[in-house]
Every structure is written in C-alpha cells, then in structure tokens.
Amino acid sequence: MKKDFRVQYPLWQMAFIVLFGFMAFGLTGATSELVNTSDEFSYSLQFPPLESVALFGTLFLTLFLLTIFFMKVSKHNKQYPTQKISLLQIRPLEYLEQDEGMVHITRIAAQKVYTFFAWALPFIAVIFLVFELSRFWMIIGILFLALMQYFIYYMEVRKRLEDEE
C-alpha cells in the first residue's frame, strides 16, 4: 500500500510547494519600472543574477517534475483502473477511502492537520500583524503552512500503514 501513488501524493505536493517558494524568491526580487506619460509608455522588469537563476532554474525543474508527475498518474491509472486519479476533481487526492481501514486512517490524519491549522493560522496571523514583513515573507509563511499540512498528513498515513503491515 505504501507504494500506492495516492500515498506518495503528499510528497509530490511538498516538492511543488518548495519549488513555488524558490519561484516566489525569484519573482519578489525583481524590480519593475513603469513610465506612463503622454509621450511615452514603457515597462521594464529586471531580475538580479541570483533571483534570475532561482526563477529560471525553478521553472525548468518544475516542468521536469510535472512531466514525471503526469507520467506517474498515468501509470497509476493504468495499473489500478478501479482507483483512477483525476487531477481535475475537487475532492483532494489524499482521501484514501477504498475500505473502512483507509477511511479511519484518512480521518485521523485529517484531524491532525485540522488541529495544526487551528493553532497555526492564528499564530501566523499575529506574526503578520505584529511584524512589518515583506510580501516575500508572507508568501513563505503561507507556503510553510501548506508544507506542514502535507508533512503531517503524510507522516500520519505512513505511520498507520506501517502499523497495519
């Protein structure tokens, strides 16, 4: 069961969240200049060297990982035609509910994530209100919450599956 792609899905989400953080670093480091007069209209966007390497390297790595991700989804759908994954569904792929045991494991993992958010969201809101943080650090804070959500979920599901085996 641990090799089931749906169990590994949170790891993919965590990788994409980290890549999005590097992408945010590259984009928030850019400077822009807008000239809008009656005689001229121009817009320039400049990336410092480190930010441009981070941005373009991240874009390349994201496209590479997306290709592998879609291939894995396709492989999973061919191997398990009764448990197909649709990336366009509204319901999260983390809900593993093919039997009562998996429903129970999913419920416990989701409860732990909910408990985490019950404490983390007010905490991060206070930090954002008290400290004058840049847009980059706010994005990193939100991405950290998302990363922790998938980490908590994955560790709980993995622990429960190891207990069953």
Residues in contact with 126: Cβ distance below 8 Å, sequence separation at least 6, in sequence order: none
| pLDDT digit string, tens, across residues 56-115 | 899 999 999 999 999 998 998 898 888 788 888 777 777 766 678 788 888 999 999 999
Q: What is the pLDDT at residue 9?
A: 87
Give the pLDDT score at 81. Answer: 85
pLDDT of residue 105: 85
pLDDT at 70: 92
**Full 3-state SS string of the chain:** CCCCHHHHHHHHHHHHHHHHHHHHHHHHCCEEEEEECCCCEEEEEECCHHHHHHHHHHHHHHHHHHHHHHHHHHHHHHHCHHHCCCCCCCCCCCCCCCCHHHHHHHHHHHHHHHHHHHHHHHHHHHHHHHCCCCHHHHHHHHHHHHHHHHHHHHHHHHHHHHHHC
- Stretch 131-160: mean pLDDT: 93
Cα–Cα separations (whole angstroms), residue 48 to 42, 80, 144: 20, 47, 25
Average pLDDT (129-143) is 93
> Whose CA is closest to 5, among 91, 68, 63, 59?
68
- The pTM for the full model equals 0.81
Cα dihedral angle (14, 16, 20, 21), rounded to 10 degrees? Answer: 30
Let me know: does 73 contact 8? Beta carbons within 8 Å. Answer: no
pLDDT per residue over 24-40, tens digit each?
A: 988 887 777 777 777 77
Average pLDDT in the chain? 86
pLDDT band at 124 (very low <50, low <70, confident <90, very high): very high
pLDDT given for residue 38 in this prediction = 79
